[in-house]
Amino acid sequence: MSDVFPTCSKRWLTIIGIGEDGPAGLGEEAKRLIATAPAVFGGTRHHALAASLISGEKLAWQSPFERSVDAVLERRGTPVVVLASGDPFLYGVGATLCRRVAAEEMRVIPAPSAFSLAASRLGWPQQDVTTISLHGRPIDLVRPHLHPGRRIIALTSDENGPGELAALLVASGFGQSRLTVLEALGGARERQRHAVASDFDLTDIDPLNVCALEVTAGKGARILPFAAGLEDDLFEHDGQITKREIRAMTLSALAPRHGELLWDIGAGSGSIGIEWMLADPSLKTIAVEQSPERAARIARNATALGVPHLAVVEGSAPDALRGLPEPDAIFLGGGGSVPDVIDTAITALKRGGRLVANGVTLDMEAALICEHGKRGGSLTRIEISRAAPLGSMSGWRPAMPVTQWRWTKG
């Protein structure tokens, strides 16, 4: 065994990707490592695929999965093999284990991912395709990617995933989009079937499947543009919403960066926090809203606009802010945040973080002018007018002016 697993504990963990073709798709090194491993972790399917090779103890994944991670770590320093589907570092177990195991402690032998296999079967260059995992994740995550002409490969959770995707496409105005369901890729049961979303009638779908979408937009399709400042009517609201033009300028002032967390205080419809998250998948938002009705509306908007993991905290600031994760940026809405809310927000903000506050009332404007005088930053007055009917002609109808204070914590 020592010629396969070094006596040094430096690389004690081996993660091996295995496909539906089982041992036939593995190289000789991977086969030897599995055959001589004293412990082999994996799912029931993985153990079945590699059954002819395994001579050591078979250890099945537990629920919650963190218990299995602990079980792997208990064997640190002794040889352990983990079996994974396809590429372990593409939405796989490798991505989980690497949070607690250093790269120099691992050797990884990947197999082709489901995305790679699907693209090769379809003749789609992967660099031109959007890939997304919906396995164990909300299906609404696909919504921001629904643009005319786009090709998407989505990994689903089970046999119901393709039908759920088809229903979402129809409800969002993309009913003429073409779905290709690719089942059990790489194995003897592999097959491809096609359907138009509006006529989706495929049955007896293998739980192990990916869906390839060729997106076609119908009239009135719910397309989420890439630019900040989505149309107001894309949001459900009761009038408490940062209007499109102001929202675009506010997001520019907030200046989202990779991996950052925003506190959206007095979130109203949630439009600022939602668009913050749409800027990049790594971004997070905690929306704080005292009205139960509005808090529920924020959650509905987040789902409908493809960021269902936005966190909503129901309560009044500043009390509702206590104990929340430290933010990288904070937005205060325009109604009338009291001074202790601003003080609490500034205290919580990370060094180098940005705070943007919009004021539409005289009281809020006065408070922001006062904060600018004390702390510095920049103060901007934003005035927007829209053309509207005026008798038999048209004229400019001004919206309420907004005073915007932007401040960076030194």
User: Where residue 2 falls among pLDDT bands split at 50, 70, 90?
Assistant: very low
**Model confidence pLDDT, tens digit, residues 287-311:** 999 999 999 999 999 999 999 999 9
- Return the amino acid letter for 103: A
Same-fold call for 9-111 versus 232-408? no
Q: Quick one: what percent of the chain has pLDDT higher than 70?
A: 97
Structural tokens at position 109: 């032998």
Q: What top-level class would CATH report for the domain 115-214?
A: alpha beta
DSSP 141: G
Instruction: Note every long-range contact of 102-108, with CB atoms under 8 Å and residues 24 or more positions apart, other chains counting.
Output: 104/10, 104/11, 105/9, 105/10, 105/11, 105/12, 105/13, 105/76, 106/11, 106/13, 106/14, 106/15, 107/11, 107/13, 107/14, 107/15, 108/14, 108/15, 108/16, 108/17
User: Where residue 334 falls among pLDDT bands split at 50, 70, 90?
Assistant: low
| 355, containing H or E segment | strand 354-359
Q: Assess whether pLDDT exceeds 80 at residue 282.
A: yes
Q: How far is CA 66 from CA 13, 93, 100, 174, in A?
A: 17, 11, 11, 38
CATH number corresponding to 232-408:
3.40.50.150
| Rg for the chain, CA atoms, rounded | 26
Q: What is the pLDDT of residue 48?
A: 96
Please tell me the pTM assigned to this model. 0.90
**Model confidence pLDDT, tens digit, residues 151-174:** 999 999 999 999 999 999 999 999
Structural tokens at position 245: 């033009």
Q: Read off the pLDDT of each residue in 220-237 and give the average, rounded to a whole number.
A: 95
- Domain coordinates in residue numbering, the chain: 9-111, 115-214, 232-408
Q: What is the pLDDT of residue 175?
A: 98
Neighbours of 95 (CB within 10 A): 13
Tell the CATH topology of 9-111.
Cobalt-precorrin-4 Transmethylase; domain 1 (3.40.1010)
Provide φ and ψ at 407, rounded to 5°: -140, 140
